[in-house]
Amino acid sequence: MVKNLTAIFKILISIGIAAFLLYLVFKNVEWIEFWERAKSVNYTWVIVSILLSIVAYMARAYRWNILLEPLGYELKTSRTTLAVLIGYLANLALPRLGEITRCGVLKRNDNVSMPNALGSVITERIIDFCTLLLLILISLIIESDRLINFLRQAYKDLTIPTYAWYIMSSIVLLGIIFLIVFIKKQDKIKGKFSSLIKSLVQGILSLKDIKRPIGFFISTLVLWAVYYLMSYIIIFSLPETAHLGLGAGFMLLITGGIALSIPVQSGFGTYHGMIAGMLLLYSIDETTGIFLATLLHTSQIVAVAIFGSIALVISFIIRRKRPTK
């Protein structure tokens, strides 16, 4: 009973935070202007983006298979894709529920051990996190001039008191000291944080056991390339953003990735606010930025809802693998 109430409480908090963030983002939007933009959208680009998502789901499933191979599981990409899609569908209900759900689907349909599946998912998330960091670094290099000029204009009248610099320096110094102490005394530190760090390290080390490193690299490359295209081509659906170049698409990708990694209900609010804020770098007004963010986010939600629901139905129909004796 207590566990059920706790779960319900967490869901309500997540929904409440998402609703509050959406309110902050949309409170100054002129809705008449907003709906006028909806009439000018070229929805062909949106549909193409939704269809492209299938390639991303399959690339993720294929890469997951490669991670499961050293553990003794030879799975078809089609069956793993079902688990990935159902996991994304579960994420619409609760942040990070999808990771557990897709492992549960593989357990139910293909007899994959839950600990093994979860370990592979941790490894996968580490790779995605490292890839996102690399893309952030690349984007900062590509768009450095635009970003610096924007910050200069935005904060040209801002003065930071001397004591504030001392406070920030102290925080950074304490953070470095804490990290050094943690590394040196990692075995003595107990609790969830220590376990998490160890799991991440084990996940990275498990990459040395994969049998198809080239396939792993190519599938990761395809996955992020498709993510890029899914975001970038929707730019052409609006006359106000159709002129934006490849660099803007890169910024859309990493900003969306950061926003969706924040544990808020399916990125509601965080995605809209961060995308709209990023588009200010390219002199895109706030209403247009919020509208494009809504278009991007909604297309992804629609893709997950449609393909995830289909996968859920198929999952109940397909023949389950019997346990090997």
302 burial via Cβ count (<10 Å: 0-12, 13-18, 19+): middle
Residue 151 within a domain = yes
Residue 101 · residue 90 · CB < 8 Å: yes
What pLDDT does 130 receive? 86
| Section 276-299 average pLDDT | 86
Please check the confidence at residue 249 and state whether its pLDDT lies above 90: no
DSSP string, 171-207: HHHHHHHHHHHHHHTGGG--SHHHHHHHHHHHHHHGG
What pLDDT does 74 receive? 83
| Structural domain that includes position 249 | 32-317
Helices 286-317 and 270-279 pack at an angle, to 10 degrees, of 140
Residue 325 within a domain = no
Residue 85 within a domain = yes
Kindly report the pTM of this predicted structure. Answer: 0.78
Residue 155 within a domain = yes
- Distance, in Å, from the CA atom of 24 to the CA atom of 277, rounded to the nearest integer, reads 13
For 310-320, write each residue's pLDDT tens digit. 999 998 887 77
Please check the confidence at residue 158 and state whether its pLDDT lies above 50: no
Number of folded domains that form the chain? 1
Residue 257 within a domain = yes
For 18-33, write each residue's pLDDT tens digit. 777 777 777 777 777 7
Please check the confidence at residue 325 and state whether its pLDDT lies above 50: no
Residue 27 within a domain = no
Q: How far is CA 140 from CA 28, 129, 198, 293, in A?
A: 30, 17, 30, 21
Structure tokens at 265: 């209900």
Over pLDDT 90: what percentage of the chain? 21
Residue 14 within a domain = no
Residue 137 within a domain = yes
For 254-269, write each residue's pLDDT tens digit. 888 888 877 777 777 8
What pLDDT does 36 receive? 77
